[in-house]
Amino acid sequence: MALSHVFETPVSGFNFENSTRNILLENVLDEGKTKAPKPLKTGTTIAGVVYKNGVVLGADTRATSSEVVADKTCAKIHYIAPNIYCCGAGTAADTEKTTDLLSSNLTIFSMNSGRNPRVVMAANILQDILFRYRGMIGANLILGGVDCTGNHLYRVGPFGSMDKVPYLAMGSGDLAAMGILEDRFKVNMEVEEAKTLVCDAIHAGIMTDLGSGNNIDLCIITRRGVDYIRPYQESEYKQRRQEKYKYKPGTTPVLTENIVPLELELVHEMVQTMETA
């Protein structure tokens, strides 16, 4: 079946080449003592709201590796198309790569058909990819955007289920964020009200969930364009560095210097003219 958004049609079944590669690498390095790095789970709060003139997406910026914060300024709102952005929760690598793949496919589609992509198409392609892998790809995504048919917000689950909803929260902090959204959501809100609502929802997630924290990013998508505010609200608990940690050149004393010239022998010389037409 010819698809307008991919060059090669996907082969049926799973592609576990990377798993076999990882096992081979583990065996080669230190005879199995070094393990492959554990997948980084983002432990997240993400939320989205449809308002009068578009969609507001919000996310926190903490990426955790077990109990350590690995990244304090992780970008969880990914670009899909000029009018479509996607928040991702779950395994960081999976959300990154899936959204990258989706973005590339939609660009191919735009070039092939001459049309701007629609949010429902992005959601359908995501659903196809994730269902094919039967939950192995740990990506929980909130897809939001504005197209010629209106303002849309979709949730796509890791097993390939899709829901179209007016407001949404996902990630480990979703229960707290959902409480705020259920309480204060109204249809056809104004932009400032929508921004405050999403910000408060993410804030609730940050306060109640250990896996969410640091700054709040917002992305406001309208017909006229996208306003990606990063960060919208900085963490109140940020500390400034007490000292400068840059070292002046000469701080480390040089004890000895040993210069070894490399003896290179010219073995073979060949001149090839280039055709510059």
Show contacts with other proteins in window 132-161 (CB under 8 A). 134-136, 155, 157, 159-161
Task: Write each residue from 159 to 178 as x if it is in contact with other proteins (CB under 8 A), else as -, in one continuous string.
Answer: xxxxx-x---------x---
Distance CA 61, CA 208 (A): 15
To which residue do tokens 């576990």 refer?
16
Show contacts with other proteins in window 98-137 (CB under 8 A). 124, 127, 130-131, 134-136
Q: Is 179 in the site for other proteins (CB under 8 A)?
A: no
Q: List, in sequence order, every residue forming a beta bridge with 81; answer none if it has no partner.
A: 84
Of the candidates 235, 205, 204, the residue with the CA atom closest to the CA atom of residue 43 = 205
Angle between helices 191-208 and 174-184 (to 10 degrees): 150
Of the candidates 76, 115, 122, 99, the residue with the CA atom closest to the CA atom of residue 228 = 76
Residue 74 or 153 having the CB closest to other proteins: 153
User: Which residue in the list 9, 34, 42, 44 is annotated as catalytic?
Assistant: 44
To which residue do tokens 């070292």 refer?
247
Residue 165 or 207 having the CB closest to other proteins: 165
* Least distance between other proteins and beta carbon 161 (Å): 4
Specify whether 64 is catalytic.
no
- Identify whether the C-beta of residue 168 lies closer than 8 Å to the C-beta of residue 153: yes
* Least distance between other proteins and beta carbon 102 (Å): 17
List interacting residues with other proteins (CB under 8 A): 124, 127, 130-131, 134-136, 155, 157, 159-163, 165, 175
Q: Which residues are catalytic?
A: 44
